Structure 1
Amino acid sequence: MSAVWKRLATTAVLLPLVVWLVLGGPPWLFHALVIALSGAAVWELGRMLERTGGASAGWLGVALGVLVTGSFAIDGAPVAALALAVVVTMTAPLASRRALATDVTVTRLFGVAYVSWLLGHGILLRELPGGGELVLFLAGVTWVGESSAYAVGSMIGRHKLAPVVSPGKTVEGGIAQVLASVLGSLLLGFWLVPGWSARRVVAAGVLLGVVGQIGDLAESVVKRSVGAKDTGGLIPGHGGVLDRLDGLLFNTPAFFYFVTFQGAVP
């Protein structure tokens, strides 16, 4: 089966489950999904770095990542959980027999900050009034934008967007991502956030289209530095968990604060 068909088959199976989980499933189950994705992504990040001579975050790194992401389900807990993760990470080498444990410490801190802290905002978003609709809007617009960037960049992309970081990404694809994100935002907005004005919906689309690309490029920096094409192979046709979350890692907190600062809760 080709990579394209694997991707389509995986999407066909997972999409209805995700839509149900976001809109109709119990909150605790959504929290569990986000926490599991966080743990898997931290593990993938550590394994990717380990393959090139770096250090894996190990089970302690995964546990701290899960702790930080899960803390977003408890009012007032995220900052305390992050502080605890930093303290544990910095003191854990004292019990290590390795001559130099700095690489492990850096990997754990990076995984917690880059993956777990950012992803935890998805739990906050889901807890808002109309949170299920907001999460689906976020995921849908991000997916439409990324898919359009890939398609347009593959077909007519000529000008490199960031050749050193990600040679495959093009200016044409980047423009398509922003335009498609705005279009997707308008289409989904009428269904999921009908109370929003057209200006707010367009602003959300531009935000997600631009910030999503920055998130994608940020992950490309990491993969490029270690010579990896994908972060893993857990999702058939899609690569690793982190590959699917790259745009969402930056888009999720950006969209959460966009909604809350503007008082745009549906």
Structure 2
Amino acid sequence: MLKYRLISAFVLIPVVIAALFLLPPMGFGIVTLVVCMLAAWEWGQLSGFTSRTQRVWLAVLCGLLLALMLFMLPAYHNDLHQPVVEISLWASLVWWMVALVLVLFYPASAATWRHSKTLRLIFGLLTIVPFFWGMVVLRAWHYTINPYSGALWLLYVMILVWGADSGAYMFGKLFGKHKLAPKVSPGKTWQGFFGGLVTAAIISWAYGQWANLEVEPATLLICSVVAALASVLGDLTESMFKREAGIKDSGHLIPGHGGILDRIDSLTAAVPVFACLLLLVFRMV
């Protein structure tokens, strides 16, 4: 299993970096759309759809919705403050606050959505659509001035999330004693949680020094820590839905890693939350 995980990582990391820096915003948006379609396919299983045909249709409908939203905004890279984008990013903040309540009070909270496919589909839309727009708008950051500026921002968020996750794992292994959310994800501890936040703060400072992101350090730190918190919530939320669905992995598309959702669960929360804070709350445009 470890061999497959390493091989997959060595293949995927260069592909992700190449997509970030070599594709124009529209091309990157299309690639992100395909990833979201695969995520929608897997979310169908979390929503209780066991039929392959039904899940294919969910993926297709998700792709059509995102494509319609994307191609309705031909000049989106010049004006990020479009209603569909802003509404999606604000909706992500509301959804992840709701998700926090669901996780904190699980399994009692599951009584409100356990038997409703419609509610679980709505949760999926609130996870995937803002993630799509968060990826697109961050990649489009100041594109006409510097085509790589947005790529550096997205790379930063990814490094932040992966670094925080690695920090949480190491601190949890070394010092973990108190469970963070035993009814949702028994492996996570409070020691690992705080270790991940410390790691995120260090990454925020170091990357800001290296990349010259033209943002006040305090603003970057706030956005980064909140995004790191959101990444933990994204992981826990997917774990909660998988637990209810009775599955270990969301899919089997990536050898040794499970499904697409298993790889992007933290990013589905961190990316739109970070984008919303940076672009709409602190108005860094």
Pick the TM interval, shorter chain: 0.7 to 0.9
The equivalent residue for 2:133 is 120
Instruction: Please tell me whether residue 262 in structure 1 is matched to residue 276 in structure 2.
Output: no
Report if the CA contact (8 A) 1:122-1:253 is conserved: yes
The equivalent residue for 1:34 is 32
Residues 1:58 and 1:232: Cα distance change in structure 2 (over 3 Å): closer
Instruction: Please tell me whether residue 15 in structure 1 is matched to residue 35 in structure 2.
Output: no
1:200-215 residue pairs with structure 2 within 5 A? Answer: 200-215=219-234
Instruction: Please tell me whether residue 132 in structure 1 is matched to residue 151 in structure 2.
Output: yes
Q: Percent identity?
A: 29
The equivalent residue for 1:186 is 205
Report if the CA contact (8 A) 1:126-1:135 is conserved: yes
Normalising by structure 2, report the TM-score.
0.75
The equivalent residue for 1:218 is 237
Alpha-carbon displacement from aligned partner over 1:93-115 (angstroms, at most 9, x marks no partner): xxxxxxxxx95544543332222
**241-250 vs 183-192, which moves further:** 183-192
TM-superposed deviation, 1:120 = 2.7
Which structure has more relative contact order (CA 8 Å, sep 6+)? It is: 2
In structure 1, stretches of 5+ residues that fail to align are 83-101
In structure 2, stretches of 5+ residues that fail to align are 77-81, 89-114, 143-148
The equivalent residue for 1:241 is 260
Tell me the distance in 1 between the aligned counterparts of 2:208 and 2:54: 39
**Matched AA of 1:246:** D
**13-22 vs 175-184, which moves further:** 13-22
Tell me the distance in 1 between the aligned counterparts of 2:182 and 2:51: 25
Tell me the distance in 2 between the aligned counterparts of 1:149 and 1:264: 29
TM-superposed deviation, 1:49 = 4.4
The equivalent residue for 2:109 is none
Instruction: Please tell me whether residue 44 in structure 1 is matched to residue 42 in structure 2.
Output: yes
**Matched AA of 2:63:** V
Residues 1:113 and 1:263: Cα distance change in structure 2 (over 3 Å): closer
Tell me the distance in 2 between the aligned counterparts of 1:182 and 1:119: 25
RMSD: 2.7
Normalising by structure 1, report the TM-score.
0.80
Tell me the distance in 1 between the aligned counterparts of 2:168 and 2:254: 21
Report if the CA contact (8 A) 2:42-2:55 is conserved: no
TM-superposed deviation, 1:209 = 1.6
Report if the CA contact (8 A) 1:55-1:104 is conserved: no
TM-superposed deviation, 1:69 = 3.1
Instruction: Please tell me whether residue 174 in structure 1 is matched to residue 187 in structure 2.
Output: no
Residues 1:55 and 1:16: Cα distance change in structure 2 (over 3 Å): closer
TM-superposed deviation, 1:162 = 0.6
Report if the CA contact (8 A) 2:47-2:121 is conserved: no
The equivalent residue for 2:169 is 150
Residues 1:103 and 1:207: Cα distance change in structure 2 (over 3 Å): closer
The equivalent residue for 1:251 is 270
Aligned with residue 66 of structure 1, among 63, 69, 78: 63
Q: How many residues are paired up? A: 242
TM-superposed deviation, 1:77 = 7.6
Residues 1:113 and 1:209: Cα distance change in structure 2 (over 3 Å): closer
TM-superposed deviation, 1:54 = 9.2
